[in-house]
Chain A
C-alpha cells in the first residue's frame, strides 16, 4: 500500500460536526427540533456517521504513523488516545452526575435520576463506582465514548492487518460482526443487560471507515460513482423513508406487506442492524457524489461552525451530552413551548460552536506562541487526532 495522503478532508470534519449537533438534538427527549434529524427519515442516525468518520480519521492518522514510525509507536499512540477518551468519559461522568443530582434535588423531582439511569449509582455508590470505571455502568446518553474506547483498544492490530491486506482486515471485522449476531454476544452492562452500542457489532462500521481511509474508497470509486449504485442507494433511501413514515403515520403501516414487516423488524440499534449499515452506506454514497472533496464551498464561512465542532469532536461531544440534559430540564421545569425548543436547540448549538472556536483558537496560540515552543510531537495537520 502506498503512502497515505496528507491533506485533511474537510468533509470529515463537516459531517462529524453535523453529527454532533444531531446527537445533541436527539438526546433531548420530546425536542420538537429533533424532527429535522436523520433518524426520523430512515434507519440509521448520527451515531453511524460519528463512528464511521472516527474510524476513517483514526486510520488516516495512525495509519500514517504506523507507516513512518512502525507498529509499536503507532499502537502506543492509539492507546494514549484511548486513555484520553477514558479520562474524558470519567470526567464527563462526574459532571453529568452532579448536574442530574443537582437538578433532581433542586426541583424535588427524583424521576430525573431514574430516567437518566443514575439512581443506581446514587443508591449504591460504593458498588457502582467500580462498575462505572469498568465502563459497565453508564448513565443514559453516555454510551458512545465507552464504545469508542473499546474500538480504539483493538484498533492497532486491526490497523496493522488493514495496512497489509485491507480485504483480510475487513473480513476479520465482518466475521466478528457475524459471530456477535449468531451467538448473541455483547459486553455485559451493570446491573444487567448488554451495552447499548455493542462493540462487537459496531466495530464493523469503524473498520469500514478505516478501510475506506486506507484506499478502499478509492478502489471502490468506479462503483460508488456509477449511476447504477447511486440509483440503488436512492431506491434504498426511498424504501427506508417510506418505512420511517409508518412510524409517524401509522395508518400507512397498512400498506406495508406483512412479509416485509416481519423481515425487517426489529431494526436493532444495539447490534447495528444490517439495514442500518446499508442505510448509512447509501447516504455515504450519495453524499460523496453530491459533495466532492475539492468543493470550494467547504472553505466558506457557512460550513465553518460545523467543521470547527467536528475538528474537536471529543470535547464537543462531552459538552453536547451535558447540554442536552440541561435542555431536557429546561423543557420540563421552565417551558415546553415550541418556541422554547427552538431557542434551547439553537443556543445549545451556539454554545458548542463557541466552545469549539475557543479550543481551536487556543490550539493555534499554543502552536505559534512566543517563548520556548513545546516539542512538536504531533504530525502537523492531523494534530487533532480523532
Chain B
C-alpha cells in the first residue's frame, strides 16, 4: 500500500468522526408534526351508528354532542378550534361536504360521571343529538375513585340518550403518564370496554390507540401531550379526532343487512374478533 492510499484511509477514518459530529448541528432543525395513521383494527366501532346512518342517507342535518371532561373541553389545546370536537367536526365535514353537521361541546374540566349525569338533561338530551360522544373515566382514575359503582350512572345516562334514539360512542381515558401511573388504569379501560359491550354502544379505544403512538411509532409523550403529562396538545387532539372521524364515518356508512339476506364470504362465519373490545395484548 503506497503512502497516498494510506493517507486516504486515514482520511476515511477521520471522516467517520466528522460524520458523528455532522448532524448534531442538523438535529436542531425544526421537524414537521408526526404523521397520523389511525390503526383501523383499534378504531373500528363494533356496532353500526344507525341514527347517524339514517340522517346521512336522507341528507338531514346531524347534531353531535361531545360530553366529557377536560380533554373534551380542550384543555391543552392552543385554542378552542383545536379541541377534539372542533377538529372532529372539521374532519367529518370534509368527509361529508354536503351534510350539515353541528357539534356541541359539553366538556367541563374536572368532571366525573356523576357530575355529568347531573347536567345530562340540559347538556345532552335538550340538544336532541343524533350522536353522543361520551368521554369518561380519566378523572375518576386520577382521583382514585372507584369506577364499579359508576356502572349504574353510565347506564342511566345511556338509557336517556337511547330514549331519544341517539347513537352513543364511549371514549376511554387517554394514554398519558398521569393516567398510566395509576395501577387501576388497565382495569378502568377494561371496565369501559365491558360496559360498551354490555350496553351495545360504540367504543373509541383512545387508550390503546395512543399507546401505539409510543410503542410502535416511538413518539415521545411531548409530541402529543402538553407538559402536564395529562392533556393532549393540538396534534394529539387532531390525531384523536382523525381516528374518531374514521370510526364514525365507517360505522355510519356500513351496510346494515338483515341476517342471511346477502351472501357473505365464508370467513365471516368464523368467530368474530374477541380481542376487539379487550385491552391490547400485554407486553
Same assembly: yes
A positions within 8 Å CB-CB of B: 29-30, 32, 35, 106-112, 114-115, 140, 165-167, 170-171, 174, 177-178, 181-182, 184, 193, 216, 219-220, 223, 247-248, 250-251, 253-254, 261, 263, 265-268, 273-274, 277-278, 328, 331-338, 341
Is the CB–CB distance between A166 and B8 below 8 Å? Answer: yes
Is the CB–CB distance between B214 and A266 below 8 Å? Answer: no
List 20 A–B pairs whose Cβ atoms lie within 8 Å, in order of A's numbering.
Answer: A30-B39, A30-B41, A30-B281, A109-B250, A111-B43, A167-B11, A167-B12, A174-B19, A193-B35, A219-B9, A250-B177, A251-B180, A253-B220, A277-B19, A331-B273, A332-B40, A333-B267, A333-B273, A334-B267, A336-B275
Q: How far is the CB of A28 from chain B (nearest CB, A)?
A: 10
Which has the most chain A C-beta neighbours within 10 Å: B253, B276, B281?
B281
Query: Is B44 interfacial (CB-CB < 8 Å)?
Result: yes
Query: Is B152 interfacial (CB-CB < 8 Å)?
Result: no
Q: A114-B246, A178-B23, A335-B270 are in contact. Are A248 and B12 (CB under 8 A)?
A: no
Q: Which of B24-32, B61-69, B77-85 contacts A (4 or more CB under 8 A)?
A: B24-32
| Neighbour of B254 across the interface among A32, A108, A178, CB < 8 A | A108
Query: Is B97 interfacial (CB-CB < 8 Å)?
Result: no
Q: What 7 additional pairs, Cβ within 8 angstroms, besides A250-B177, A261-B222?
A: A109-B44, A216-B12, A220-B16, A248-B283, A251-B180, A332-B273, A333-B273
Is the CB–CB distance between A219 and B177 below 8 Å? Answer: no
Interchain CA distance A184-B9 in the complex, whole Å: 31
Q: Which residues of A contact B12 (CB under 8 A)?
A: 166-167, 170, 216, 219-220
Dominant SS among interface residues on chain B: helix
Is the CB–CB distance between B223 and A165 below 8 Å? Answer: no
By size class, the interface of chain B is: 35 or more
Q: Which residues of B contact A254 (CB under 8 A)?
A: 177
Is the CB–CB distance between A253 and B41 below 8 Å? Answer: no
Interface pairs A-B: 7 shortest CB-CB: A181-B26, A111-B40, A336-B275, A274-B23, A115-B40, A219-B9, A265-B220
Q: How far is the CB of A258 from chain B (nearest CB, A)?
A: 10
Residue of B nearest to A181 (CB): B26
Query: Is B110 interfacial (CB-CB < 8 Å)?
Result: no
Q: How far is the CB of A261 from chain B (nearest CB, A)?
A: 6
Q: A107-B265, A336-B276 are in contact. Are A266 and B34 (CB under 8 A)?
A: yes
Is the CB–CB distance between B276 and A115 below 8 Å? Answer: no
Q: Which residues of A contact B194 (CB under 8 A)?
A: none
Q: A30-B39, A167-B15, A335-B273 are in contact. Are A181 and B29 (CB under 8 A)?
A: yes
Dominant SS among interface residues on chain A: helix
| Neighbour of B250 across the interface among A111, A193, A268, A332, CB < 8 A | A111
Q: How far is the CB of B214 from chain A (nearest CB, A)?
A: 5
Is the CB–CB distance between A250 and B180 below 8 Å? Answer: yes
Interchain CA distance A107-B44 in the complex, whole Å: 13
Residue of A nearest to B31 (CB): A266
Is the CB–CB distance between B275 and A220 below 8 Å? Answer: no
Q: Which residues of A contact B26 (CB under 8 A)?
A: 178, 181-182, 274
CB contact list, B84-113 vs A, under 8 A: none
Q: How far is the CB of B258 from chain A (nearest CB, A)?
A: 14
Q: How far is the CB of B282 from chain A (nearest CB, A)?
A: 9
Residue of A nearest to B278 (CB): A336
Q: How far is the CB of B19 from chain A (nearest CB, A)?
A: 6
Q: How far is the CB of A106 from chain B (nearest CB, A)?
A: 5
Interchain CA distance A187-B195 in the complex, whole Å: 47
Interchain CA distance A386-B246 in the complex, whole Å: 40
Query: Is B219 interfacial (CB-CB < 8 Å)?
Result: yes
Is the CB–CB distance between B23 and A32 below 8 Å? Answer: no
Q: How far is the CB of A356 from chain B (nearest CB, A)?
A: 28
Q: Which residues of B contact A219 (CB under 8 A)?
A: 9, 12-13
Is the CB–CB distance between A110 and B250 below 8 Å? Answer: yes
Q: How far is the CB of B24 from chain A (nearest CB, A)?
A: 7
Q: Which residues of B contact A108 (CB under 8 A)?
A: 254-255
Query: Is B58 interfacial (CB-CB < 8 Å)?
Result: no
Interchain CA distance A20-B267 in the complex, whole Å: 29
Query: Is B149 interfacial (CB-CB < 8 Å)?
Result: no
Is the CB–CB distance between A178 and B13 below 8 Å? Answer: no
